Amino acid sequence: MSDELTLLVPEAPAAEPEIVDRGQRKASLDALRLGLLDNSKANADHLLRMLVDHVSVGMKVASVTTLRKGSVALPASETILDQLARDSDLVLSAMAD
């Protein structure tokens, strides 16, 4: 009879994070194209507007693209993510309540 004792743990380790291509970084903060992802939580839109106001003080904002998730409890759709990726240099998302 083996003296070996096998211990089994009920837990699973967290999934390994996926490395994603972060794409080209802008060399300067001039003419920044801001993207806003409103997660549709109550007051998220207010929080995002405040953030834009503050960001605009320190740098020139060329455009602001604001998109809103269909449901706070669901991921943003591919359409929303694609548009933000295409039209923005920097995306802010908000959670507020």
The contact set with other proteins (CB under 8 A) reads: 8-15, 42, 69-74
Nearer to other proteins by Cβ, of 19 and 42: the residue is 42
Shortest separation between residue 77's beta carbon and other proteins, angstroms: 8
Shortest separation between residue 18's beta carbon and other proteins, angstroms: 10
Q: How far apart are CA 63 and CA 29, in angstroms?
A: 13
Question: Which two three-digit tokens encode residue 71?
Answer: 């449901």
Spell out a b/e string for 35-53, using b for 16 or more CB atoms within 10 Å of the CB, else e.
bbbbbbeeebbebbeeeee
Nearer to other proteins by Cβ, of 37 and 61: the residue is 37
